[in-house]
């Protein structure tokens, strides 16, 4: 299986993406983080997923400090960020509750903050973090146009959008949205059920998958569904001759013809390598459906 996938003529991402949601919890020095970035690049992972809010607005700065130790690495990577969520924390003392904001000014402000914190002159991809009940697509279009024309952002997309939400925003834009980052795993079939997968295929959109290992809950099953999945994943792993069920979970996503790009959010290089090794695994159609049936808890109709 190819280690890269083209989202459009301007953007090619590694099939496995490294995510930095928990970077603040990793307690790495700048030098240790730089070493991890180098190891990830050596594995062929060139795409790095961030968001302005990660680590209460600190993770991008941590990454930028490490990258500043070897700035030439920037040309080997694609930097992805997200904006739109405003947390009710000490970073936003004026807020009593978390809100979503997609005004033109706020999107531009947050994109520029990400550029500063990451220590780069451009984002390869900027995503709107979540759909919002209060949303003006004209404001978003103005922000995207400004960021595109200024060269600060090369490509744009969304995260957690439904087909209608994606289509609605797309109708206001002059450039095609590059992707939709959604939760996909053997335990999260939501986007098969809400017709997002068919929407992606219709429009040739390659989705990014957050939480591709279902938050780790299948490794220590508690519910009947988790026990079913764990048992079948172990069975399929034995059939394939692989030791870890995480590789089967990644391979299940990678097998699908829609072209899913899993995000691996670990600091442990062996776990990251395990995801890359899943690119070599080719599940049979029967194995893929065994896992689907275990997740659904019923045979196909």
54 is catalytic: yes
Task: Kindly name the residue from 54, 57, 102, 250 that is annotated as catalytic.
Answer: 54
Q: What is the DSSP string of the chain?
A: --SEEEEETTEEEESSEEE-TTHHHH---HHHHHHHHHHHHHTT--EEE--TTHHHHTHHHHHHHHHHTSGGGGGG-EEEEEE-EE-SSTTSTT-SS-EE---HHHHHHHHHHHHHHHT-S-BSEEEE-S--SS--HHHHHHHHHHHHHTTSBS-EEEES--HHHHHHHHTT-SS----EEEE-BTTB-HHHHSSHHHHHHHTT---EEESTTGGGTTTS--SHHHHHHHHHHHHHHHHHT-S-HHHHHHHHHHHSTT--EEEE--S-HHHHHHHHHGGG----HHHHHHHHHHHHTS---
Which of the residues are catalytic? 54
């Amino acid at each position: 299986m190819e280690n890269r996938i083209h989202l459009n003529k301007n953007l090619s991402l590694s099939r496995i993406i490294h995510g930095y949601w928990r970077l603040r919890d990793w307690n790495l020095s700048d030098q240790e983080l730089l070493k991890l970035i180098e190891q990830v690049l050596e594995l062929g992972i060139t795409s790095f997923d961030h968001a302005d809010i990660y680590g209460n607005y600190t993770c991008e700065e941590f990454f930028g400090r490490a990258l500043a130790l070897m700035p030439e690495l920037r040309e080997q990577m694609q930097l992805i960020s997200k904006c739109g969520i405003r947390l009710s924390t000490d970073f936003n003392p004026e807020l009593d509750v978390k809100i979503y904001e997609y005004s033109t000014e706020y999107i531009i402000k947050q994109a520029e903050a990400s550029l500063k914190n990451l220590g780069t002159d451009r984002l390869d991809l900027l995503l709107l973090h979540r759909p919002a009940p209060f949303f003006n697509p004209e404001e978003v279009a103005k922000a995207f146009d400004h960021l595109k024309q200024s060269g600060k952002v090369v490509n744009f997309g969304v995260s957690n959008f439904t087909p209608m939400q994606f289509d609605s925003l797309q109708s206001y834009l002059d450039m095609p949205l590059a992707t939709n980052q959604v939760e996909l795993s053997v335990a999260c079939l939501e986007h098969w059920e809400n017709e997002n997968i068919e929407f992606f295929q219709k429009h040739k959109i390659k989705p990014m998958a957050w939480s591709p290992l279902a938050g780790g809950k299948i490794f220590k099953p508690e519910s009947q569904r988790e026990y079913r999945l764990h048992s079948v994943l172990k069975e399929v792993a034995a059939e394939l001759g692989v030791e870890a069920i995480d590789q089967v979970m990644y391979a299940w996503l990678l097998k699908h013809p829609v072209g899913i790009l899993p995000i691996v959010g670990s600091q442990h290089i062996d776990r990251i390598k395990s995801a890359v090794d899943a690119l070599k695994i080719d599940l049979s159609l029967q194995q893929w459906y065994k896992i689907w049936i275990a997740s659904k808890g019923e045979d196909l109709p």
